[in-house]
């Protein structure tokens, strides 16, 4: 189900697959999933922001229930979603990362809940023992050739070793931690650079030697830079249980990548080159990981893992939607 000018009832179809994530684009999917049980693919299980964005579409009873749970968890009483966000921001509380089990409205109304991380699947199975939860790896196409001139335009030359953080450059990606580790790397080799590839979402100084910040990128440039990167650094704090496309891309190609040591990321981190970081440990642990991955750089291109193939993803989702055995 996708947003459109004309509402199409989900009851008109033989099968239903709903995509639910933290974006108003999923408004129609959320509405349809509540009306007709189907298979719901959760891009994030903590998709509270979606409910904030479509607040007026939610029944008053559900609004009260959500606000009550938010008050219980945060201590903030509010009249509406916007009022809650306003209060949370004023007190330095992330209003979108409060885990009140918001996913239950979708999970309990679905025949099957699909996620892209085995860690998330296990967490939701423990929460909803009467619901069927399945995990399928996030689909990633095998990398092909790319325009070698694109990295050069950003000052990334042939013999450089590139660490890269991809997607929106937000504080929740632990960018301050990454920059702290970078600045504390004494005796850093001259050929090592740190790439921040994506649109910035908060105020921070990135003007340090060896740091390349790109700003917003089109898909061709984004994909060329991710393929050129020797080691990804895709961290989350807090995590919303989200699917990370860049993290999956690195893992699918067995490219070295540093991920947060959380059930969400461990469930994505298939392959021998994923390393896991306790983001609460400070920059010393991250620095040690980055140095070790640089020293072991000879194994950076170890090949594609077929478990991430789109064809396998489609087969598994199709079998789930049509009621056949998942076989996973």
Is 90 exceeded by the pLDDT of residue 42?
yes
Residue 300 has pLDDT above 90, yes or no: no
Alpha helices in 57-98 (DSSP H): 60-74, 81-90
Each residue's pLDDT tens digit, 107-125: 999 999 999 999 999 999 9
Quote the pLDDT of residue 226: 97
pLDDT at position 179 is 96
Cα dihedral across residues 57, 245, 142, 251: positive or negative: negative
Is the model's pLDDT at 106 over the cut of 50?
yes
User: Under a CB-based contact definition with an 8 Å cutoff, are residues 293 and 277 in contact?
Assistant: no
pLDDT tens digits along 257-297: 999 999 888 888 777 889 999 998 888 999 999 999 998 87
Residue 199 makes CB contacts below 8 A (sequence gap 6+) with: 168, 169, 215, 216
What is d(CA 216, CA 200) in angstroms, rounded to the nearest whole number? 8
Q: What is the dihedral of CA 255, 261, 264, 270, to 10 degrees?
A: 30
**What is the Cα–Cα distance from 256 to 162, expressed in whole angstroms?**
11
Q: Which one of 73-77, 171-175, 315-319 scores highest in mean pLDDT?
A: 73-77
For range 158-171, the mean pLDDT: 94
Instruction: Report the C-alpha gap between 63 and 243 in whole angstroms.
Output: 26
- What is the reported pLDDT for 301? 59
- The pLDDT value given to residue 325: 47
What is residue 299's predicted lDDT score, i.e. its pLDDT? 57
Query: How high does pLDDT run on average in the chain?
Result: 91
Per-residue pLDDT for 58 more than 70? yes
Mean pLDDT calculated for residue range 292-318? 85
Q: What is the pLDDT of residue 323?
A: 81
Instruction: Flag whether pLDDT at 89 surpasses 80.
Output: yes
User: What is the full DSSP assignment across 138-191?
Assistant: PP-PPP----THHHHHTT--TT-EEEEEESSB-GGGTHHHHHHHHHT-TT--TT
pLDDT given for residue 267 in this prediction? 84
pLDDT at 4 over 70: no
The per-residue pLDDT for range 181-213, each reduced to its tens digit, is 999 999 999 999 999 999 999 999 999 999 999
């Amino acid at each position: 189900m996708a947003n459109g000018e004309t509402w199409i009832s989900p009851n008109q179809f033989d099968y239903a697959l709903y995509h639910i994530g933290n974006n108003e684009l999923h408004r129609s999917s959320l509405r349809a999933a509540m009306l007709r049980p189907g298979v719901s693919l959760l891009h994030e299980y903590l998709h509270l922001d979606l409910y904030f964005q479509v607040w007026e579409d939610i029944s008053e009873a559900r609004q009260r229930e959500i606000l009550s749970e938010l008050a219980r968890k945060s201590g903030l009483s509010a009249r509406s979603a916007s009022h809650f966000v306003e209060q949370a921001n004023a007190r330095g509380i992330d209003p979108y990362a409060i885990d009140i089990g918001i996913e239950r409205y979708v999970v309990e109304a679905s025949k099957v809940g699909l996620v892209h991380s085995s860690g998330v699947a296990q967490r939701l199975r423990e929460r909803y023992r009467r619901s069927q939860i399945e995990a399928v790896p996030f689909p990633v196409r095998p990398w092909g050739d790319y325009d070698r001139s694109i990295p050069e335009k950003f000052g990334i030359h042939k013999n450089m070793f590139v660490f890269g953080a991809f997607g929106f450059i937000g504080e929740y990606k632990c960018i301050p931690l990454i920059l702290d580790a970078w600045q504390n790397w004494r005796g850093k080799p001259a050929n090592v650079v740190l790439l921040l590839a994506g649109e910035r979402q908060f105020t921070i100084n990135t003007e340090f030697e060896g740091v390349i910040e790109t700003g917003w990128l089109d898909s061709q440039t984004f994909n060329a830079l991710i393929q050129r990167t020797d080691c990804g650094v895709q961290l989350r704090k807090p995590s919303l249980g989200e699917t990370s496309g860049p993290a999956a891309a690195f893992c699918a190609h067995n490219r070295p990548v540093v991920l947060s040591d959380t059930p969400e990321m461990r469930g994505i981190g298939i392959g021998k080159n994923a390393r896991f970081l306790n983001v609460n440990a400070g920059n010393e642990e991250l620095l040690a990981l980055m140095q070790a991955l640089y020293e072991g750089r000879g194994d950076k291109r170890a090949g594609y893992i077929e478990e991430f193939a789109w064809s396998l993803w489609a087969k598994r989702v199709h079998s789930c939607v049509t009621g056949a055995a998942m076989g996973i």
